Amino acid sequence: MTGPTDGPADGPTDGPARARLTSYEHDGLTFDVADEGPIDGDVVVLLHGFPERASCWRLVAPLLHAQGYRTIAPDQRGYSPGARPTRRRDYTLGRLVGDVAALIGLTGGPVHLVGHDWGAAVGWATVAEHPDLVRTWTAVSVPHPRAFLRSWVSSTQGLKSSYMLLFNVPRLPELLQRRAPRRFEASLRRAGMTSDDVARFRSEIAADGALPGGLAWYRAMFLRGDALERPRITRPTTMVWSDGDVALGRKGIDLTPDWVDAPYELVVLEGVSHWIPTQAPGALAEAILERVTSA
């Protein structure tokens, strides 16, 4: 643990670490962390997606704090300035899961885990591979990976995900963002981002140099060995999906319960775009709280 602001350096092993985390180290990288809320509260780890950072939880976290929960939200691999390796193989699913597992280990775990977008994909894998580290799991927008893959051949999901092919073209998206930023940002607006969301992307991702690292998650998707080895989910799970999501269709959501061997609930938010944490923070916090209190 690096950067504690109070309490012992290592914290107890049987509950939440009683020291604030400002950063942590894993795999030779340094990750920035937003650690907020009651220091002695049960820990909720919040995993952001693309193209966002831990700040996407800024409206959700206070609602959890008000109910006594401590939130820990990392800037993940490729986003934290100290955690931006350049090789594609440094962004495989196993490495991303390893980053999350290392963070949970510092809290004294197990924790309540929440993930949006790519954070949900990593969260599904973390729960499957390390169920001992997780008490409850709330996935936001992205279904179980096996359900997602099945939806490609049984719905329009493949068409909705066609942008992933563009993201896999080396240097092209980065070049587009630099030379035609308005066109790049227009695609985010079409996906439902508000002006505030786009401004955050402009400052936290584009200007800060985090875009190549975020794109690297897509570019490592098809590397050998980047599959979910143990797909069954054995922790209480809530799936939160919005019907205004242009990137994730309903089919994968409906297939997700097939992979969950635990209490499961689907929460559908009507009239909300893909960016649930910033556009429906109250409804999302309610779903998270209902799941964590069930444990």
Q: What angle do CA 67, 201, 273 make, to 5 degrees?
A: 60
The one catalytic residue among 24, 69, 218, 245: 218
The one catalytic residue among 117, 130, 144, 245: 117
Integer Cα distance of 190 and 84 in angstroms: 28
Terminal-residue alpha carbon distance, the chain? 27
Of 29, 30, 34, the closest CA to residue 47 belongs to 34
DSSP letter, residue 2: B
Contact 136, 236 (CB under 8 A): yes
Does the annotation mark 99 as catalytic?
no
Does the annotation mark 32 as catalytic?
no
The helix (H) or strand (E) run that includes residue 290 is helix 281-293
**In this structure, what token pair is assigned to residue 62?**
């206070």
| Cα 140 from chain centroid (whole Å) | 8
Q: What angle do CA 278, 284, 289 make, to 5 degrees?
A: 140
Q: Return the amino acid letter for 95.
A: R
The helix (H) or strand (E) run that includes residue 218 is helix 211-219
Does the annotation mark 26 as catalytic?
no
Annotated catalytic sites, by residue? Answer: 117, 218, 274
